[in-house]
């Protein structure tokens, strides 16, 4: 399955939310619930590939920030 990554205007917001979640863990919980509710409310309009893409965008932001923080002495 191909996922759609960075496919809309909110993609940058997902990445930023991932970066912020490293410092404020509540953002992670909020984002996951937000994505689940959005996916359920847009049933039929949003494909699974877009849902997984949003999660991947979030994880890219989280991973890049964690890597950058670890590289700073």
Give dist(CA 1, CA 69) in Å, integer: 32
Label residue 3 by pLDDT band (50, 70, 90).
Answer: confident
pTM: 0.89
26-54 residue pLDDT tens: 999 999 999 999 888 887 787 888 889 99
CB contact at 8 A, 66 and 22:
yes
Give dist(CA 48, CA 1) in Å, integer: 10
User: Dihedral of the CA atoms 31, 55, 40, 49 (nearest 10)?
Assistant: 160
For the cut 80, the answer to whether the pLDDT of residue 68 exceeds it is yes
Give strand pairing partners of 46: 43
Share of the chain above pLDDT 90, in %: 64
What pLDDT is attached to residue 1?
Answer: 76
């Amino acid at each position: 399955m191909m996922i759609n990554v960075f496919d809309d205007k909110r993609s940058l917001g997902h990445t930023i939310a991932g970066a912020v979640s490293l410092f404020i863990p509540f953002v992670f919980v909020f984002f996951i619930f937000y994505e689940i509710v959005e996916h359920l409310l847009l049933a039929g309009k949003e494909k699974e590939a877009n849902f997984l893409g949003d999660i991947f965008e979030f994880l890219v932001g989280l991973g890049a920030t964690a890597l950058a923080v670890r590289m700073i002495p």
